[in-house]
A and B are shown apart, each in its own frame.
Chain A
Amino acid sequence: MLTLESVTKRFGGLTAVRAVSLEVRAGDLLGIIGPNGAGKTTLFNVISGYYRPEEGRVRFEGHDVTGLPAHAISRLGLTRTFQIVKPFGNLSVADNVMIGALTRLPRVRDARIEAERVTALCGLGPHAQARARALPIALRKRLEVARALATRPRLLLLDEVMAGLNPAELTGIVDLVRRVHAEGVTLIVIEHIMAAMMRLAQRIVMLHHGEKIAEGTPQAIAHDRRVIDAYLGEEFNLAEA
């Protein structure tokens, strides 16, 4: 579904992503981990069209999307959420989600109905009329997911939708991510919370200094020497997670 061929992104002298290749199949739930500054979000920005890579190609469902503008990639069915949430602050939750739905459903009435469905799915039903900027962070993270989901993506990139949440909120959003995946959306998830990642992901990719240093099942990653040295610090005990 998504193929990265040796993608490199540089900022001046800094190589943020170096020769990363990746294969994502339809139905995957792929996790990306790595220390701060490892290039995770930069990789998302390259895939979703916010940055143009210096080298390499990005292919999505047979289209070469390298260098296409973000809105064109979104229309092909590949969209993303933002680590630092970007709600349309002065608009209601319902309008936020509806603007997403308008991409596939040009008629406002149809988009309104679709937005109601997605808003409820994401547990935002009771807040539909609230102004987006008035929401607490946990709900704003959900709004990011809802709005992206309303565009009916086939591949969705989730950038730290769990960061900054308390344990109860965390359980809620993990359930939401599972539900989205169960609806048939292929997911790539960036997350720092290992416990959640271990339970969610089918496969994990580890980035370090912009390079892919490991890829495998959660179990394999948890015992990988390079991952432990660069990121985990000690072996991650799945039983405790």
Chain B
Amino acid sequence: MTGLGAERWAAIALFAAAAVTPLVVRDTYILDSVILILLWGALSAAWNIAGGYAGQVSLGHAAFFGIGAYAAALMSARYGRSPWLGLAAGVLLSLGAGAMIGYLSNRLRGPYFALSTIAFAEVLKIVASRWRGFTAGSEGVPVPFRPGFWTLGLSHVAWLYLVLVVALLAYGLQVYLERSRVGYQLAGVREDEDAAEALGIATRRRKVQAVVVSAALTSACGSMWAQYVGFVDPSHVFSIDLSVRFALNAIIGGMGTALGPFVGSVFITSLETYLRSISSWFSGVGTGFTGIYLIIYGVVLILIVRFAPEGMIGIAARLFARRARAHA
């Protein structure tokens, strides 16, 4: 538990820094970076609820992200209704899909569960690509920009605060899981299901609950992302790249910690933005740099898993513990 107080302060500092950014800078490039850091952080936090706290490591969370993205985009583009309604519809669909995936987690464990979640997202990708009459197929859906809160046509500053609220909600949900009965029981399920059963914990129901909440939050974030970016296409929103990204942020930052997904998101999102900007400088020379962030992803992941399996939060906690001992 050492360093937990410090983690809370670090979280406050991080979210406060995000909140004051629009007061200090007006540069849309920077605002855009902060919005994406918060949104990817919230998405990783959503993943973390199932993967980190309940131990159900999914590599198919893009399924829920895509459901949310399409629900919002189609609701505004096809039916001319508020994307908030789409968000709600997406959440409802994802509750159902989450229950299905949660049920799978009771049948398949570890890597078999992860593989089945990948398959689930792939199936949805194919459906969205082929069902042209409804989803417009692989061409994708451009989301019309209609200014206003109800239509989610917002300025960068408004987006930042909206996404900040979502991030705080995701963070708060995780903190709740660290302190509540449900959270402790999920930790028991993650550590050893048989032992948890012997202690009277309905492990199957708890796992389904965790995956369902995780799915609903992922879907809501997916809806917001669609409105923010303004374009949805199946090969991106249902891609394994996205699923891996949700997991990766949490793993690099620290699985099963509340701040971990956000720390991971700060690191990965800034790195990616930076490398993309470099690769555009070099675009005259060639496109050799376009894929380089994937290589760096891989290297960072290997280093983290090898040297700091508890992620950056784990490293920080260890440093704090060492310093506390040195002072004692």
Contact = CB atoms under 8 A, between A and B. Distances in A.
Given A86-B194, A88-B192, A102-B181, A95 B199 contact: no
B187 A151 contact: no
B148 interface: no
A79 B179 contact: no
Given A99-B184, A102-B185, A86 B192 contact: yes
A48 B185 contact: no
Interface string B101-123: 00000000000000000000000
A88 B194 CA distance: 11
Interface in B189-203: 191-192, 194-203
A8 interface: no
A82 B194 CA distance: 9
Contact of B199 (A50, A103, A108, A129): A103
Contact of A91 (B187, B199, B203): B187
Given A102-B184, A108-B179, A91 B198 contact: no
A69 interface: yes
B185 to A, nearest CB: 7
Interface string A51-75: 0000000000000000001111011
A50 B200 CA distance: 12
A172 B142 CA distance: 71
Contacts of A91: 187, 191
B199 A99 contact: yes
Contacts of B192: 86-89
Interface in A138-184: 147-148, 150-151
A103 B184 contact: no
A208 interface: no
A156 to B, nearest CB: 10
Contacts of B181: 102, 106-108, 111
Main secondary structure of the interface of B (DSSP, over half): helix
Given A102-B181, A102-B184, A108-B180, A71 B201 contact: yes
Contacts of B201: 71, 99, 103
B197 A69 contact: yes
Contacts of A98: 184
Contacts of A237: none
A90 interface: yes
Contact of A70 (B187, B191, B198): B198
Interface residues of A, number: 35
A145 to B, nearest CB: 12
B197 A74 contact: yes
Contacts, number: 80
B188 interface: yes
Nearest to A88: B191
B198 A95 contact: no
A80 interface: yes
Nearest to A129: B1
Contacts of A210: none
A74 B194 CA distance: 12
B200 A79 contact: yes
A68 to B, nearest CB: 11
B199 A147 contact: yes
Contacts of A90: 191
B202 A69 contact: yes
Contact of A71 (B180, B184, B197): B197
A99 B180 CA distance: 11
B200 A86 contact: no
Contacts of B187: 88, 91, 95, 99
A79 B191 contact: no
A99 B197 contact: no
Interface string B25-65: 00000000000000000000000000000000000000000
A90 B1 CA distance: 12
A68 B216 CA distance: 31
- Among A48, A102, A107, find the residue whose CB has the most chain B CB atoms closer than 10 A: A102
A49 B202 CA distance: 13
Interface string B145-178: 0000000000000000000000000000000000
Contacts of B200: 71, 74-75, 79, 103, 151
Contacts of A106: 181
A31 interface: no
A71 B191 contact: no
A177 to B, nearest CB: 18
A71 B202 contact: yes
B195 A82 contact: yes
- Among B191, B200, B202, find the residue whose CB has the most chain A CB atoms closer than 10 A: B200
Contacts of B194: 50, 70, 82, 86
A193 B85 CA distance: 67
A210 B242 CA distance: 52
Interface string B1-26: 10000000000000000000000000
A129 B201 CA distance: 23
10 contacts: A49-B197, A50-B194, A71-B197, A79-B200, A90-B191, A91-B187, A99-B185, A99-B188, A148-B198, A148-B199
Closest 9 CB pairs of A and B: A88-B191, A103-B200, A74-B200, A70-B197, A86-B195, A86-B192, A75-B200, A99-B188, A100-B199
